[in-house]
Amino acid sequence: MKVIISGCGKIGTAILQSLIKEEHDIVVIDTSANVIETISNRFDVITLCGNGASYDVLVEAGAKSADLFISVTPSDEYNMLACFVAKKLGVRNTVARIRNSEYNNSGFDYIENELGISVSVNPEFLTAKKLFDVLSLPSATSVENFLASDMEMIEVVVKDDSKIENLPLYELRKKIPRKFLVCLVEREGKVHIPNGNFIIKAGDKVGLFASKTDANEILKYFGYNKKRIKSIMIVGASKIAFYLSKLLIGAKSSVKIIDIDEQKCLEFSEKLDKATIVHGNGMSQELLIEEGVLSTDALVTLTGKDEQNVLMSIFANNKNVPKTITKVNREEILKLSNELGLDTVVSPKQLVADLIVSYARALESSKNSKIETLYSLFGGMAEACEFKILSNFKTTNVPLKDLNISKRVLIAGIIRNGETIIPCGEDVFRIGDKVIVITAEEPVYDLSEIIG
């Protein structure tokens, strides 16, 4: 596809890197000559220095024949205007980064339709929802929800004293009478799609495909018995902190927010009357202890500085705070997260990039199947894709055991009429089914390509 990206800050660059891997034809626009020079030196893409909402610039970028236009500058209004102009020029699909909560209300559908915006993305809310899902299941390091079903993809590390250590997976399935599947195992930096004879070891990171209602019972068998998180301390009065606090307060959790900026504290006090707001430096160990970090259920570090977030989380880990979540954007720190002993690390820019890649793949879908959602797993080493089977799919009503399904993937689930089937050899694909595919090697763009 021909893709135009307007705005190449942290999020724009993450989107660019992800779409390059998908082998799209990309043009980058930015108002900063320094940014354009950096992008030109790092990536083999066409670049333009100029206003992405300008008619002339968009014409020069090839908007009249582009398949997808993405505007992710810091200005919501700029992004909306750029999408409007791009759409008028003939771009088929547009994506706008829109952060202001005032735009993300019930009336926003009207604005999207009038401006021709295909998809709007709020990175801060997207991140807050991700954090909320993890806090709702504190034993997990990451949680992905499949919207069409009651299933989750849960990443969890196997403890030394776990009952499942040295147990083959076929035995594990017998011992736990719940709906689940072990889809992925990361060991010594390599990700495996395990078969029934695979033996779990302590220290393995395991990807569980499980029912939301059964998840806690399954995790208890894994050796985790963490209670529901009731008190959360957040450092950094950011937009993510605001959205997350709203979700947590709605779930009847106790929230305390610490920030060094007095004005931000005053603003949060007005907007979040049910949260406790503390003006102070979260990097101060004395302050954290004084404000109750040793008795809180979770610490979430959301300042604008990765290093500070990491150091505060390491301090909390050393003080045995039950759950820590760390916001990190810099690639070099993301790669070191496991070695640093961090519990859960979240990158807002990567969440947005994954969403855009999912949407771009959906636009390229064949008449056989359509990708509806895509989740990056195990730090990008694996993917979960949700495909919808369309009317021209050729291998419906054939038992899976009779299909030549690629060994590089796992069919984790079939969603039919809102119910999820963890498939066996006798199950079949039907028109309208949604199929969840796990891969740890090359990405899957179409369901037909994995069936020989």
| pTM exceeds cut of 0.85 | yes
Mean pLDDT confidence for 91-99 = 93
Domains annotated for the chain, with CATH where assigned, are 2-121 (3.40.50.720), 138-221 (3.30.70.1450), 231-346 (3.40.50.720), 351-450 (3.30.70.1450)
Q: For every residue of 284-312, which 3-state class applies, written as one string?
A: CHHHHHHCCHHHCCEEEECCCCHHHHHHH
Quote the pLDDT of residue 104: 58
Using the predicted structure, report yes or no on whether residue 18 has a pLDDT greater than 70.
yes
What is residue 376's predicted lDDT score, i.e. its pLDDT? 85
pLDDT, position 124: 94
Model confidence at 103: pLDDT above 70: no
| DSSP element (H, E) containing 78 | helix 76-89
d(CA 130, CA 128): 5
Give the pLDDT of residue 162.
81
pLDDT at 155: 93
Residue 234, amino acid: I
Residue 322 contacts by C-beta under 8 Å, 6 or more apart in sequence? 138, 226, 229, 297, 298
pLDDT tens figures, 331-353: 888 878 767 888 899 999 999 99
Q: How confident is the prediction for the chain on average, in pLDDT?
A: 91
pLDDT tens-digit map of 111-149: 777 888 999 999 999 999 999 999 998 889 899 888 667
- 7 touches 74 (CB < 8 A): yes
In this predicted model, what pLDDT tens digit does every residue of 261-295 receive, in sequence order?
999 999 999 999 999 999 999 999 999 999 999 99
pLDDT reported for residue 411? 94
